[in-house]
């Protein structure tokens, strides 16, 4: 059981106990001593609900918290959904990576917002140039968030207990097994790092796009594809298609 699960259990059960103490203890609300049938019925309801919350809450934290979940793209409706999943991650091995990716997502949200604002300063939504820029931004965003999803799934597949055990190591034949486990775990870790690097690169490309757009006074939509930032993003999108 992870430290986060233990903390959740403590807060849940302590909250249930304190709530019932306040409701039923003498010197506090002491509702149980009331002669009102409605209040008595309320007390019974509180007891039943407390038991249900206790059973369901503990079950969900203990058993559901250990379930390996593989996410699909459809389960993320907006960028904040990715942030919520990352913040709930309990893999201590990836604490720094998780924090880093959270910051990357926040940067991505800001850059996308900035791009949408400055594009409307130069073009109208119906213009071909506007649509070409938006296609590039949309494609880069899809790759970015797909990388986040892949990172989350890879972290969920990572067996932290096996990794720590293998790091301690053993002697004899078991050491060969530990070495193999370490090799597999390091592949997972390297993959997570690679997704972060890819997303950092996407953020840099969007910075370049923001810079180029900010310099535009006039533009011919026919030469738009020749802009370096657009070419880089389109190349990234085309390259990524072969790995999906």
pLDDT in tens, 188-213: 999 999 999 999 999 999 998 888 88
53 and 77 part of one domain: no
Determine the pLDDT at residue 224. 58
Question: Which range has the worst mean pLDDT, 118-122, 140-144, 187-191, 228-232?
Answer: 228-232
56 and 174 part of one domain: no
Give 238's Cβ-side CA count (13 Å radius): 6
189 and 95 part of one domain: yes
Q: What is the spatial distance between Cα 110 and Cα 207, in angstroms, rounded to a whole number? A: 11
Domain extent for 125: 73-241
Determine the pLDDT at residue 64. 59
Q: What is the spatial distance between Cα 167 and Cα 109, in angstroms, rounded to a whole number? A: 38
59 and 82 part of one domain: no
Q: Residue 242: is its pLDDT beyond 50?
A: no
Determine the pLDDT at residue 62. 74
Confidence of residue 235 (pLDDT cuts 50, 70, 90): confident
43 and 86 part of one domain: no
Q: How many CB atoms lie within 10 A of CB 232?
A: 19
Confidence of residue 243 (pLDDT cuts 50, 70, 90): very low
Q: Which two tokens stand for residue 189?
A: 């870790």
Number of domains in the chain: 2
Q: Decide: 148 and 82 in contact? Cβ < 8 Å.
A: yes
Which burial class, exposed, middle or buried, applies to 213 when counting CB atoms under 10 A from its CB (0-12, 13-18, 19+)?
buried
137 and 109 part of one domain: yes
Q: What is the spatial distance between Cα 157 and Cα 68, in angstroms, rounded to a whole number? A: 7
Q: Give SS3 for 221.
A: helix
Q: Decide: 160 and 91 in contact? Cβ < 8 Å.
A: yes
Q: How many CB atoms lie within 10 A of CB 14?
A: 10
Determine the pLDDT at residue 124. 87
99 and 140 part of one domain: yes
**What DSSP state is assigned to residue 171?**
S
pLDDT in tens, 136-160: 899 999 999 999 999 999 999 998 8
Q: Residue 84: is its pLDDT beyond 90?
A: yes
On average, the pLDDT of the chain sits at: 84
43 and 93 part of one domain: no
Spell out the residues 6+ positions from residue 72 whose beta carbon is closer than 8 angstroms to its own.
149
Last residue of a domain, one of 17, 34, 66: 66
Most confident of 17-26, 104-113, 159-168, 216-225: 104-113
* Angle (deg, nearest 10), helices 95-122 and 79-87: 170
81 and 128 part of one domain: yes
Confidence of residue 220 (pLDDT cuts 50, 70, 90): low
Last residue of a domain, one of 36, 66, 96: 66
């Amino acid at each position: 059981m992870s430290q986060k699960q233990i903390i959740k259990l403590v807060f849940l059960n302590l909250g249930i106990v304190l709530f019932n103490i306040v409701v039923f203890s003498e010197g506090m609300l002491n509702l149980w001593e009331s002669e009102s049938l409605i209040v008595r019925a309320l007390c019974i309801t509180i007891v039943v609900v407390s038991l249900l919350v206790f059973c369901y809450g503990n079950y969900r934290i203990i058993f559901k918290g250990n379930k390996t979940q593989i996410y699909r793209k459809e389960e993320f409706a907006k960028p904040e959904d990715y942030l919520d999943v990352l913040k709930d991650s309990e893999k201590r091995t990836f604490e720094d990576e998780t924090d880093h990716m959270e910051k990357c997502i926040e940067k991505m949200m800001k850059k996308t917002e900035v791009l949408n604002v400055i594009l409307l300063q130069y073009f109208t939504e119906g213009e071909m140039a506007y649509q070409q820029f938006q296609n590039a931004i949309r494609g880069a965003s899809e790759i970015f968030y797909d990388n986040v999803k892949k990172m989350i799934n890879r972290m969920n597949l990572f067996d932290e207990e096996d990794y720590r055990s293998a790091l301690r190591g053993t002697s004899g034949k078991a050491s060969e097994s530990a070495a193999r486990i370490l090799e597999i775990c390091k592949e997972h870790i390297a993959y997570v790092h690679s997704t972060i690097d890819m997303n950092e690169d996407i953020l840099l490309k969007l910075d370049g796009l923001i810079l180029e757009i900010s310099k535009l006074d006039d533009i011919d939509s026919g030469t738009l594809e020749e802009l370096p930032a657009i070419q880089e993003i389109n190349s990234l999108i085309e390259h990524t298609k072969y790995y999906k």
